[in-house]
Amino acid sequence: MKQVFLLMIAFCVSQLLYAQDNDAENCKDHAFFNRLPNFRIESCESNFNLQEFFTGANKKESVEGNVTKLRYVWNSETAKPPSPLQLTRNYEAAITKNGGKKIYIGNEDGDPSYIGLGTFTMSKDGKEYWVTVTHFSHPVSGGEVPEFSLIILEKEAMKQDIEANAMFKEIEAKGSISLYINFETGKSAIKPESQNIVDQMTEMLKANPALKVSIEGHTDNVGTPAANQKLSEERAAALVKALVAKGIDKSRLASKGWGQTKPAADNNIADGKAKNRRVEIVKM
């Protein structure tokens, strides 16, 4: 059962049900997000497409995947709509609380006088999600948001299946191999879907007792260099710990983090970022 991400805002249940009753036909909230109170869905669409996301002022990135678009409009004559900042911060709180990252909060043209949109990413159940929330009208009358859109793109996370023998052959031939191990977003916990890679590494090391390796973590460029450096070190150390727990002598293993300093692909595109979030196994 999918976990529902709750927005950090109080609301009346009767108001929410009233808004849902007035939704456009065949439209409903995304499974990951409850709506803000007093909004109804004006329109919705869902398809596989190439979607642009703002990653900075005057800067966009195109991502391919299953796209859900929801347009919300204000549905109360008595309550006061939220401000642009309140709208964006609510979604930021909901996403980052569940391990996601803020990519950009600002607007489309670099004007510092107002907050127009927010772009975020998160991982869940082996999939990567890109999320944008953006309001309409500039400037916003009275500092309020009468309507906004929520765009959620879902794509498969980088996956890899490799057997111990093939892993060893590449290390012997090239001196290293890049592995794509899925960790919890922003954390060093190895996800269950990557357990097979850990098992194959264990089998390789047990079958080749003279082999010693350095496990080296790498990240994309999302976040600060200092945070990425720390994260890469922690993930490399977590993989060493997992191998030791499976019976590999710790003296055969070293760990190192490179953060975002050694990209293997273009960090300006989503696929490039995915390739940069890697662990390299380097022969010592």
Q: What's the distance, CA 237 to chain centroid?
A: 22
Per the domain annotation, does 70 fall within a domain?
Answer: yes
Per the domain annotation, does 78 fall within a domain?
Answer: yes
Per the domain annotation, does 5 fall within a domain?
Answer: no
CA torsion sign for 78, 80, 81, 82 is negative
pLDDT of residue 142: 54
Q: Give the CA-trace dihedral at 276, 219, 179, 211, to 10 degrees.
A: 130
Distances (CA, A) of 149 to 43, 58, 91: 9, 19, 12
Residues 19 and 126 in one domain: yes
Residues 18 and 148 in one domain: yes
Pick from 136, 156, 176: which residue ends a domain? Answer: 156
pLDDT of residue 231: 94
* Angle of CA points 221, 191, 53, to nearest 5°: 35
Residues 269 and 172 in one domain: yes
Residues 121 and 150 in one domain: yes
pLDDT of residue 11: 37
Residues 152 and 173 in one domain: no
Burial 142-178 (b: 16+ CB within 10 A, else e): eebbbebbbbbbbbebbeeebebeebbeebeeeeebb
pLDDT of residue 1: 37
pLDDT tens for the 284 residues of the chain, in order: 334 344 433 333 344 444 566 899 899 998 888 788 899 999 999 988 888 888 887 788 888 788 999 999 988 888 888 888 888 888 898 888 887 888 888 876 655 556 678 899 887 776 788 999 987 655 455 567 888 999 999 886 666 778 899 999 999 999 999 999 888 777 898 888 888 999 999 999 999 999 999 999 999 888 789 999 999 999 999 999 999 999 999 999 999 999 999 999 888 777 788 889 999 999 99
Residues 277 and 221 in one domain: yes
| pTM exceeding the 0.85 threshold for the entire prediction | no
Residues 176 and 144 in one domain: no
CATH, residue 202: 3.30.1330.60
Pick from 156, 178, 211: which residue ends a domain? Answer: 156
- In the chain, what is the greatest distance between 2 CA atoms, to the nearest angstrom? 74
